[in-house]
Structure 1
Amino acid sequence: MIATATVGGVLVLLCLGLLASPWPFLAPLAVFGLAGLAALYRRPAWGLLGIAALLPFEGLFKGSEFTGAKLLGVSMIGILALQLLLRQLPDQRLRNNLWRPLSLFMLAYLISLMFSEHYELSLGHLRELAVGLAVFFITVLVAAELNLKMLCRVVSLSVAATCAMALASAKHQVGGRAVGLLEDANYFALLIALAAPMSAWLALRANSLPARLGWLAVTLLLLAGMTKTDSRSGLVVLVGCLLIGLWHHRARLRQIRSRHLGFVLLGAAIFIPLGLASLPADYVARIKSLVELKSGINAHQDASLGRRASYLVVGSQMIRDNPLAGSGPGTFPVHYAATGFAKAFSEQAGTTDLYRRAHNTYLELFSEIGIPGGLLFCALILFGLRNFERARQASLASGDTERADLATHLGLSFLAMALFLMFLSAPNHKYLWILLGLSGYLRLDAEARATRLSQTQ
């Protein structure tokens, strides 16, 4: 009765407040909002699924202070903090082997913040990073009740939906390159490279032929979207993940009998030429430029590669000037704008185009927060990759091939993210911190399953 009266009172006050506000039309939505909060309180993992599903659509809310992912995130933080205070969550939910390297990284980050050359700019960078840290905290707490197959589904389908938009409409392209609902083709390629291993796992583990064909179609749609991005880094990352995936599934490849080999070769003879022929001519030209790198970078012929080379020059000088604490989080664009490279590679009139990020998360962190902080961030990434590897090994040891495949494909998604960080500045990317949080849980869960199995034998 007390809880009911309290909720009723809150609902009445909320409705009255909205009626007196400039947005009285939102008053009826208060009932649905409270119902949603109640559902999240009972099933916090649904909130993380919602955040993962909404990330590719954040471009729809560009310029808005309130987005679906932000509202879900704030609600989740409040709910989980309350549940921790009321001791409604088991203490083992907080177990994760990434807390120590993460704490050391944040210590190095805060030291760099204290000595920053541009304190207000660094505070803005800290606010952005805090979003990723909050997502990591949410993931660690709800991972035990999270449906990982559903996570793969929502990520694959949401990214595939933006791929379909980009392929169907030029409105979702910039300069002929697909960007989905984002502003940069390479960031869109990152989402595709991250979602492709998940959709491939769903296709491999589908229970029926129609479901398998459906997820195969989703995977092909993702690959088609990748070719439309014209992203060279995306191609390199996808090929690397494909080779690792084939190595993991090599036992299945051995099951191909000699009588099936003819059909495999026939399919390859048909689909490989069709796939190569469907590649846009501009994309083929960009891929060829990677082969020509051994003869050096010509900034006049390829301004993109020239800009990336200039980022390395500026970042290296920043590291030499401040090797321990860096120049301060978020200060790379200020240093770059002060060089001649900024004007030489400026594509637009005005000063805003001069302030460019490093387009390399590792270089950016080494130059902004110093060598110790950069090494600790790299350690976080390596710990995450090691966690997925150990989860795969423990699952195979216990005979759970499905969990081993899941750990492998989620690890490939995380590897795609880790490799893409060499081409993009995205230390606060929510998918990065979600996968980091999941890596520790998957390892602990797989090792616990293996231990229980060994004790029962």
Structure 2
Amino acid sequence: MIIPLSLIALLALVCVGLLASPWPFLAPGAVIGLAGLLALYRRPAWGLLAIITLVPLEGLFKDSELSASKLIGAALALVLLLQLAVGQLPGERLRSPMWRLLLGFLALYALSFLASDSTEMSLGHFRELAVGLLLFAITLLIGRELNLPLMCRLVTLSVTLTCIMAMFSAKYQDEGRAAGLLEDPNVFAMLIAIAVPMALWLVLKSPNWLQRLFWIACCLLLLAGMTKTNSRSGLVVLLLSLGIVLFHYRDQVARVRPRHLGFAMLGLAILLPTAAALMPPAYVARIQSLALLKSGVNAFQDDSLGRRSSYIVVGSKMIREHPLLGTGPGTFPLQYATTGYAKAFSANKKVGDLYRRAHNTYLEIFSEVGVPAGILFVGMVAFALYNLLYARRLWMQQGNHDQADLLTHLCMSMLAIGLFLMFLSAPNHKYLWILLALSSVLRLKAEEARLAQGAA
């Protein structure tokens, strides 16, 4: 406890200094900070849970330079460094096969940064990516202590709360589309797609009907929030998630008796027409617009699809001209602004509206950092999915179906992120980097459990 005592002494001096300064009212804040640091020192996983919970709520602090998640992240990083320094936390926890892909990606990223067309834009991109890298290391260190059922509850409640706010307040909408607190309907749709598998797991594993009804209500609110986002990709991902759930629980579905099947069919007969009737007409129109893809994209018929097609054209040109190192991290908007597409698809004809991101993380990485780095990035996402599926298989072999079920739903959340990266520019998303690291931790825990079972 030497380090905590030194922290107490340091913060005591800070309190005394604040009391003697022109801002004595700040002294209680130092005491609260001390209490928070001591709590994180004893339970670092609480800090990670707090960061995970605050991701959908980050819009509340958009006008502040120092948000709650930044404070918690900085304090958690400080605590973990202190624990590593005194040997309280084993550095072996940082070991992960994922580092092979990540270090290769970072090496190519550094070379692309040095050859960038705009050092300023690349520096801004790196600042954003650094947050994800920090969360990756933090999750490797304390992912073992993470309470996964509690994480599922917190994510579900946090995203559900933002759904309620977005559906009933125009303040959290973007031209009629629910955007939550992040001011982007598509990013909000991705959060819902990540939360739905966790909410379904809570429904299936609730110990009593009261809790089950509560989580069912959360699921319905999440689905209502998804329709309010008008996100076509979100609907596709949700349908895929539902298909995976049915496949995973196929044995349980097969045991449904005919009389129960009749009630299920009756429920579907009532639910589907009701959902179709309540679905916003704008969302139905956007879904129907996907039929345009059969005959090619026509920008006059669907401006959104035409704009996304222009990103692919520009990105493909960047890849052909700079296949090895790209044009530099974060420089896609600079390249896009010089094309005729930027002016053609500019909604308000403002200069800032010309600089658009690729709205496709994979395309953005391939075009900005190069093909080799893009392959490594895709490899990390695929490897995370493999880790979760492998861990699930190990738990199934050990007969621990509860853990296998949880891994299935976490894999669905990871798959939702991987699919949504095709429609969003979000290489720094916190959930992405947390799940990348968590997949390695969960696989290692499953392997250790198998070895312990074999030794017994």
TM range (shorter): over 0.9
Q: Following TM superposition, by how much is the alpha carbon of 1:150 offset from its aligned partner in structure 2, in angstroms?
A: 0.7
Q: Following TM superposition, by how much is the alpha carbon of 1:69 offset from its aligned partner in structure 2, in angstroms?
A: 0.7
Which residue in 2 is equivalent to 1:373?
373
Which residue in 2 is equivalent to 1:354?
354
Which residue in 1 is equivalent to 2:291?
291
Which residue in 2 is equivalent to 1:252?
252
Alignment of 1:86-165 (within 5 A): 86-165=86-165
> Can you list the C-alpha shifts for 1:29-86, whole angstroms capped at 9, x where unaligned?
1111100100000100000000011111110111311111111111111111111111
Q: Following TM superposition, by how much is the alpha carbon of 1:115 offset from its aligned partner in structure 2, in angstroms?
A: 0.9
More divergent stretch after superposition (19-28 vs 445-454) = 19-28
> Can you list the C-alpha shifts for 1:208-264, whole angstroms capped at 9, x where unaligned?
111111111111110110000000011111111111121111111111011211111
Structure 1 residue 168 and structure 2 residue 168: aligned?
yes
Q: 2:77 touches 2:138 (CA, 8 Å); kept in 1?
A: yes
Q: Following TM superposition, by how much is the alpha carbon of 1:444 offset from its aligned partner in structure 2, in angstroms?
A: 1.1
Q: 2:388 touches 2:439 (CA, 8 Å); kept in 1?
A: yes
Structure 1 residue 48 and structure 2 residue 43: aligned?
no
Q: Following TM superposition, by how much is the alpha carbon of 1:172 offset from its aligned partner in structure 2, in angstroms?
A: 1.2
Structure 1 residue 65 and structure 2 residue 65: aligned?
yes
Which residue in 2 is equivalent to 1:432?
432
Q: Distance in 2 between matches of 1:121 and 1:245?
A: 42
Q: 1:230 touches 1:286 (CA, 8 Å); kept in 2?
A: yes
The DSSP-based 3-state class of the residue aligned with 1:28 is helix
Change over 3 Å in CA distance of 1:85–1:5 after alignment to 2? closer
Q: Following TM superposition, by how much is the alpha carbon of 1:450 offset from its aligned partner in structure 2, in angstroms?
A: 1.9
Q: Following TM superposition, by how much is the alpha carbon of 1:292 offset from its aligned partner in structure 2, in angstroms?
A: 2.4
The DSSP-based 3-state class of the residue aligned with 1:328 is coil
Letter of the structure 1 residue corresponding to residue 313 of structure 2: V
Structure 1 residue 333 and structure 2 residue 364: aligned?
no
Q: Following TM superposition, by how much is the alpha carbon of 1:349 offset from its aligned partner in structure 2, in angstroms?
A: 3.3
Q: Distance in 2 between matches of 1:251 and 1:22?
A: 69
Structure 1 residue 242 and structure 2 residue 237: aligned?
no
Change over 3 Å in CA distance of 1:20–1:100 after alignment to 2? farther
Which residue in 2 is equivalent to 1:399?
399
Letter of the structure 1 residue corresponding to residue 449 of structure 2: R
Change over 3 Å in CA distance of 1:92–1:398 after alignment to 2? farther
Q: Following TM superposition, by how much is the alpha carbon of 1:2 offset from its aligned partner in structure 2, in angstroms?
A: 7.3
Q: Following TM superposition, by how much is the alpha carbon of 1:291 offset from its aligned partner in structure 2, in angstroms?
A: 2.1
Q: Following TM superposition, by how much is the alpha carbon of 1:8 offset from its aligned partner in structure 2, in angstroms?
A: 4.7
How many residues are paired up?
456
More divergent stretch after superposition (345-354 vs 324-333) = 345-354
Q: Distance in 2 between matches of 1:2 and 1:384?
A: 38
Structure 1 residue 187 and structure 2 residue 187: aligned?
yes
More divergent stretch after superposition (9-18 vs 253-262) = 9-18
Structure 1 residue 82 and structure 2 residue 82: aligned?
yes
Which residue in 2 is equivalent to 1:32?
32
Q: Distance in 1 between matches of 2:285 and 2:23?
A: 52
Which residue in 1 is equivalent to 2:9?
9
Q: Distance in 2 between matches of 1:324 and 1:290?
A: 34
The DSSP-based 3-state class of the residue aligned with 1:88 is coil
Which residue in 2 is equivalent to 1:422?
422
Structure 1 residue 300 and structure 2 residue 296: aligned?
no
Q: Distance in 2 between matches of 1:9 and 1:435?
A: 37
Q: Distance in 2 between matches of 1:17 and 1:112?
A: 46
Q: Distance in 1 between matches of 2:78 and 2:264?
A: 53
Q: Following TM superposition, by how much is the alpha carbon of 1:357 offset from its aligned partner in structure 2, in angstroms?
A: 0.3
Q: Distance in 2 between matches of 1:343 and 1:317?
A: 18
Percent identity for Structure 1 against Structure 2? 58
Q: Distance in 2 between matches of 1:219 and 1:3?
A: 44
Q: Distance in 1 between matches of 2:435 and 2:221?
A: 23
The DSSP-based 3-state class of the residue aligned with 1:358 is coil
More divergent stretch after superposition (223-232 vs 56-65) = 56-65
Q: Following TM superposition, by how much is the alpha carbon of 1:6 offset from its aligned partner in structure 2, in angstroms?
A: 3.9
> Can you list the C-alpha shifts for 1:415-441, whole angstroms capped at 9, x where unaligned?
000000000000000000111111011
Which residue in 2 is equivalent to 1:227?
227
Q: Distance in 2 between matches of 1:302 and 1:23?
A: 57
Q: Distance in 2 between matches of 1:8 and 1:438?
A: 32
Letter of the structure 2 residue corresponding to residue 346 of structure 1: S
Q: Distance in 2 between matches of 1:292 and 1:23?
A: 63
> Can you list the C-alpha shifts for 1:92-121, whole angstroms capped at 9, x where unaligned?
422322111111111111111111111121
More divergent stretch after superposition (93-102 vs 260-269) = 93-102
Q: 1:93 touches 1:144 (CA, 8 Å); kept in 2?
A: no
- TM-score, L = length of structure 1: 0.97
Change over 3 Å in CA distance of 1:334–1:268 after alignment to 2? same
Q: Distance in 2 between matches of 1:23 and 1:51?
A: 29
Q: Distance in 1 between matches of 2:349 and 2:16?
A: 49
Q: Distance in 2 between matches of 1:254 and 1:127?
A: 51
Q: 2:3 touches 2:82 (CA, 8 Å); kept in 1?
A: no
Change over 3 Å in CA distance of 1:350–1:24 after alignment to 2? farther
Change over 3 Å in CA distance of 1:22–1:324 after alignment to 2? farther
Q: 1:108 touches 1:373 (CA, 8 Å); kept in 2?
A: yes
Give the CA RMSD over aligned residues: 1.5
Q: 2:8 touches 2:34 (CA, 8 Å); kept in 1?
A: no
Q: Distance in 1 between matches of 2:270 and 2:319?
A: 51
Q: Distance in 1 between matches of 2:22 and 2:127?
A: 28
Change over 3 Å in CA distance of 1:409–1:5 after alignment to 2? closer
Letter of the structure 1 residue corresponding to residue 154 of structure 2: V
Which residue in 2 is equivalent to 1:262?
262
Q: Distance in 2 between matches of 1:317 and 1:143?
A: 41
The DSSP-based 3-state class of the residue aligned with 1:27 is helix
> Can you list the C-alpha shifts for 1:297-320, whole angstroms capped at 9, x where unaligned?
110121111110000000000001
Q: Following TM superposition, by how much is the alpha carbon of 1:296 offset from its aligned partner in structure 2, in angstroms?
A: 1.2
Q: Distance in 1 between matches of 2:297 and 2:71?
A: 45
Which residue in 1 is equivalent to 2:215?
215
Change over 3 Å in CA distance of 1:136–1:5 after alignment to 2? closer
